[in-house]
Structure 1
């Protein structure tokens, strides 16, 4: 889970720009692991094929961001059995652990995600 707090006055005052930028951070991070992550037209989040691997939910007040994203890394997907994730019946969910069949090192994941975040939001 990532909850970036950014002042979009210093970037671009656009909710859609911010959401697509967060998605790109996750896409770039997953690409580092050899996963072909994509967006789906008209839907928010990041996908591997027809399965959602990351969900986004933000709040913006006075152009300051709150909340953020959830990327399924080593997520127990059994928790999704009793719900309809994001209200989307026709799509499933996945995790990196499910795709690779082993647990992902979270320290490495955090470093990779932060690096991609810094690149997208030009924080060098």
Structure 2
């Protein structure tokens, strides 16, 4: 029996095109799946790897595999005018926006190195965000039946601060979370975020009433809570 590899290779890709990043995720994902298939077929006893990518994307809208295209409120011409792109992709969830000022995290993990429970995995991702935001004095919460992290859930001013959508196959994950830190919230006006009508979207800088939050500090906190919850360690 292989030992559980709790090491996660960390990469910060900086500002990178969505499609390029998606292709890179797919390559990392495939390498892990291929290793697992080889182990099963050939009793190869090879260790699977884990990865975590930080990235910031140019303006882009992505629609999950079960999403409704009508939740995108722009046509092709309007997308170009906004300097945005659109992709239908292979994660769960509906439509979301990525752009400058948003911290996107893509864990590409072999969950058999940690635990085999997708529900628990999603709750852990939410908990990482909740614990990080609590360090800024914000009470972030889950909204029943809606994956992601919210503020003011039980008030008339419920607002989403972090969207999530994942894909998993053979217990290997990809895609992940998008935390609004210094995001231009105007871009969310062009969609029905996550297909949920009547609820607003917010960003950490708006909640803290500051012009700009230090994103490096936010990433440090996210990694600390990720490491603690998953009992993992990061290597560069």
Fold match (TM-score > 0.5): yes
Greater helix proportion: 1
After superposition, the C-alpha distances for 1:6-31 in whole angstroms (9 at most, x for unaligned) are 11112221111110010000101001
TM-score, length-normalised on structure 2? Answer: 0.51
Where do residues 87-98 of structure 1 align in structure 2 (5 Å cutoff)?
87-98=195-206
Where do residues 16-35 of structure 1 align in structure 2 (5 Å cutoff)?
16-35=119-138
The correspondence for 2:208, drawn from 79, 95, 100, is 100
Where do residues 1-124 of structure 1 align in structure 2 (5 Å cutoff)?
1-49=104-152, 50-102=158-210, 103-124=212-233
Residue ranges of structure 2 left out of the alignment (5+ in a row): 1-103, 153-157
4-13 vs 44-53, greater mean Cα deviation: 4-13
Q: Give the Cα–Cα distance (whole angstroms) in 1 for the partners of residues 140 and 208 of structure 2.
A: 14
When Rg is computed on C-alpha atoms for both structures, the one with the higher figure is: 2
Give the drift of 1:101: 1.9
Greater strand proportion: 2
Paired residues, what number?
124
TM-score, length-normalised on structure 1? Answer: 0.96
Query: RMSD between aligned alpha carbons?
Result: 0.9
Residue ranges of structure 1 left out of the alignment (5+ in a row): none
SS of aligned partner of 2:107: coil
Q: Give the Cα–Cα distance (whole angstroms) in 1 for the partners of residues 112 and 146 of structure 2.
A: 26
After superposition, the C-alpha distances for 1:64-110 in whole angstroms (9 at most, x for unaligned) are 11010000110100001111100111211000011112211011111
- Report 1 or 2 for greater relative contact order, CA contacts < 8 Å, sequence distance ≥ 6: 1
